Chain A
């Protein structure tokens, strides 16, 4: 049996879930593939994985996979994940969000989860648009681009999700694109193994909304665009900021050791018990 078939049999839910909700050619499937390969490579038990998502195209991802899965409210996935992780620290909690989910409605939760350095792995699918609701502008829609709510052109500056995560204090931040599937595999593996708050930003295309409205071509053409615009982080370090305009810097952006919330809280428990004489 081909490797991929084995993974499909092992990790996908086979009862009543398919066909999935995503458009043909969508990049979410590639992200899901990378997620499954990383989990399989590390060798987690299915019972110890909790997949938490918010709302939107990416929010539908957990329903297809055979883990403990939770589809929450819009932007709030990280808050639920925080509760799960603190209640059962032995569970591996992975959070899936979209760009609107993570940095618009959920922006506050995102920066605080990073600041807290709670041991959660966050995967953010950034396709520059609200896909499920029909192509409205998101906080990552670039300046000057079109959406159904910016038909005259987007006049807002966009968020750089990975830089936001770095600034907010995440212990691990990586960025890849769905064109670079193997890079995604390794970024996710590293993120899952990281103790602390880890973020993988996945640059993806929404050819049915963002691509169509901005005449960027088919899914394949948009993926070729990802390939052409991507610069490995090592190479980007030697480039000037103006040369990096419109480029996608991919690779591991940050990997540092910070006190992890649960470990720190365990110390608090010990101190509290001591103070109480128990």
Chain B
């Protein structure tokens, strides 16, 4: 029996995370606590920093020195991290940030769940930028998605945010982990050429340049300023344009590798629920119960929130004339669904912002309301 937060810590260790910097915050603290015990055993490092700004700074520094690194927080801390998140994006330094969402804004509802940070995860740091955001609904998914977050982060040289909520973080479920089970672990591609030939931010067909770790003979400059291919600050339009375009292209040309979703009973569904996190659990139950009543309901469970899974929504639009998006905010993913839908089917929302989970009964009621 593991908690979602504990499963995240276990997943991080399995993925090869050997550095964690964090600051205590409900409902994410268990991740810190578990890793403060486990990391020193495996030769890793845990450090409690003075705030969340410092936590992400240390994580990025450790990653640049070649160690897979992570931090975990909740809304208020995630707000503080937005500054250094931008640096990790522009300097292309892999790292994983877990945000166990609680009610907001501000100090909000520390011990109750919410899904209010979906747009913040996408757009929270300033400037136009790509990002990868994953979601999990079960304890096992917390484990798997943490490993996946590290893999994607290392592969695409980008911070990856794992967005769960208080329910998933604190829920206990049975989880079987086979230590022998083959799990794909991806490590960043390092340069193989001699240091004098290394161009740290050179464009490649994939858009992802190999990454040299500090202290391994490739001396180069890393900056939060827009930089040229050598990493040096530039204000030349002919260098900035291709650089920022590449940052976007390295993600937009790999959607199929990044995006995953679960299609449950969607093949013939006339009504499809689109959900993520703890609400996807209620939605699954609602879909099963609706079928028992003879209503053809399916569930599209989004495991990748950003980049948004346009293709998955388009797939369910082929059969479903009604889409319902239950979420614990005033409508963040539903806006994306409506954008993709473009009037093809009817899109309904089901929003709840009182700190309690959306129940299967509430979803069933909504299904009956709109049909």
Residues of A within 8 A of B (CB): 13, 15-17, 46-48, 50, 52, 60, 62-63, 66-73, 76, 78-88, 90-91, 108-109, 112, 265, 268-269, 271-273, 276, 278
Report the minimal beta-carbon distance from A164 to chain B, rounded to whole angstroms.
15
B219/A83 in contact, CB under 8 A? no
A16/B65 in contact, CB under 8 A? no
B221/A71 in contact, CB under 8 A? yes
- The answer, yes or no, to whether B224 is at the interface (CB within 8 Å) is yes
Task: Determine the chain B residues whose CB is within 8 A of the CB of A50 once the complex forms.
Answer: 65, 214-215
- The answer, yes or no, to whether B83 is at the interface (CB within 8 Å) is yes
Q: List the 3 shortest-distance A-B pairs measured between CB atoms, nearest first.
A: A83-B61, A79-B57, A83-B58
- The answer, yes or no, to whether B171 is at the interface (CB within 8 Å) is no
Report the minimal beta-carbon distance from A236 to chain B, rounded to whole angstroms.
32
Report the minimal beta-carbon distance from A32 to chain B, rounded to whole angstroms.
15
B57/A82 in contact, CB under 8 A? yes
Task: Determine the chain A residues whose CB is within 8 A of the CB of B233 once the complex forms.
Answer: 60, 63, 71
* B21, B59, B67, B232: most-surrounded residue (chain A CB, <10 A): B232
Task: Determine the chain A residues whose CB is within 8 A of the CB of B69 once the complex forms.
Answer: 83, 87
Report the minimal beta-carbon distance from B367 to chain A, rounded to whole angstroms.
47
Task: Determine the chain A residues whose CB is within 8 A of the CB of B65 once the complex forms.
Answer: 50, 83-84, 87-88, 91
**Binary per-residue interface labels of chain B (234-268) against chain A in the complex, 1 for a CB within 8 Å, 0 otherwise:** 00000000000000000000000000000000000
If A68-B215, A68-B219 touch, whether A86 touches B58 (CB-CB below 8 Å) is yes
A265/B40 in contact, CB under 8 A? yes
B219/A67 in contact, CB under 8 A? yes
Q: Which of B19, B214, B224, B228 meets A73, CB within 8 Å?
A: B224
Interface of A is mostly: helix
Residues of B within 8 A of A (CB): 18-19, 21, 37, 40-41, 43, 45, 47, 49-51, 53-67, 69, 83-84, 86-87, 214-217, 219-225, 228, 230, 232-233
B40/A71 in contact, CB under 8 A? no
Report the minimal beta-carbon distance from A67 to chain B, rounded to whole angstroms.
6
B64/A70 in contact, CB under 8 A? yes
B224/A71 in contact, CB under 8 A? yes
B219/A87 in contact, CB under 8 A? no
Task: Determine the chain A residues whose CB is within 8 A of the CB of B64 once the complex forms.
Answer: 70, 80, 83-84
Alpha-carbon separation in the docked complex, A79 to B49 (Å): 8
Q: Which of A17, A83, A112 meets B21, CB within 8 Å?
A: A83
Alpha-carbon separation in the docked complex, A72 to B84 (Å): 8
Task: Determine the chain B residues whose CB is within 8 A of the CB of A82 once the complex forms.
Answer: 21, 47, 49, 54, 57-58, 61
Can you offer 10 A-B residue contacts whose CB atoms are under 8 A?
A17-B232, A47-B215, A63-B223, A63-B232, A68-B215, A68-B219, A79-B58, A90-B215, A109-B57, A112-B50
Task: Determine the chain A residues whose CB is within 8 A of the CB of B40 once the complex forms.
Answer: 265, 268-269, 271-273
Report the minimal beta-carbon distance from A233 to chain B, rounded to whole angstroms.
30
Interface of B is mostly: mixed
Report the minimal beta-carbon distance from B282 to chain A, rounded to whole angstroms.
39
If A16-B230, A83-B69 touch, whether A66 touches B219 (CB-CB below 8 Å) is yes
Task: Determine the chain B residues whose CB is within 8 A of the CB of A88 once the complex forms.
Answer: 65-67, 214-215
If A73-B84, A83-B21, A265-B40 touch, whether A91 touches B214 (CB-CB below 8 Å) is yes
* A16, A72, A81: most-surrounded residue (chain B CB, <10 A): A72
Q: Which of A91, A109, A265, A278 meets B45, CB within 8 Å?
A: A265
Task: Determine the chain B residues whose CB is within 8 A of the CB of A70 once the complex forms.
Answer: 61, 64, 214, 221-223
A109/B54 in contact, CB under 8 A? yes
Report the minimal beta-carbon distance from A230 to chain B, rounded to whole angstroms.
33
Report the minimal beta-carbon distance from B115 to chain A, rounded to whole angstroms.
28
A91/B54 in contact, CB under 8 A? no
A71/B47 in contact, CB under 8 A? no
B230/A273 in contact, CB under 8 A? no
Task: Determine the chain A residues whose CB is within 8 A of the CB of B86 once the complex forms.
Answer: 73
A80/B223 in contact, CB under 8 A? no
* B37, B57, B61: most-surrounded residue (chain A CB, <10 A): B61
Q: Which of A78, A84, A273, A278 meets B214, CB within 8 Å?
A: A84
Alpha-carbon separation in the docked complex, A90 to B216 (Å): 11
Report the minimal beta-carbon distance from B39 to chain A, rounded to whole angstroms.
8
A87/B45 in contact, CB under 8 A? yes
A80/B215 in contact, CB under 8 A? no
Additional A-B contact list (18), CB under 8 Å, known A62-B221, A69-B222, A112-B50: A15-B230, A50-B65, A52-B61, A67-B219, A70-B214, A73-B87, A76-B53, A79-B49, A79-B84, A80-B58, A82-B21, A83-B19, A83-B62, A87-B65, A87-B67, A108-B51, A109-B54, A269-B43
Alpha-carbon separation in the docked complex, A256 to B220 (Å): 34
A90's nearest neighbour on chain B, judged by CB, is: B215
Alpha-carbon separation in the docked complex, A48 to B228 (Å): 24
Report the minimal beta-carbon distance from B66 to chain A, rounded to whole angstroms.
7
B66/A79 in contact, CB under 8 A? no
B214/A79 in contact, CB under 8 A? no
Alpha-carbon separation in the docked complex, A80 to B231 (Å): 18
B69's nearest neighbour on chain A, judged by CB, is: A83
Task: Determine the chain A residues whose CB is within 8 A of the CB of B56 once the complex forms.
Answer: 79
Q: Which of A15, A62, A68, A83 meets B57, CB within 8 Å?
A: A83
Alpha-carbon separation in the docked complex, A62 to B222 (Å): 10
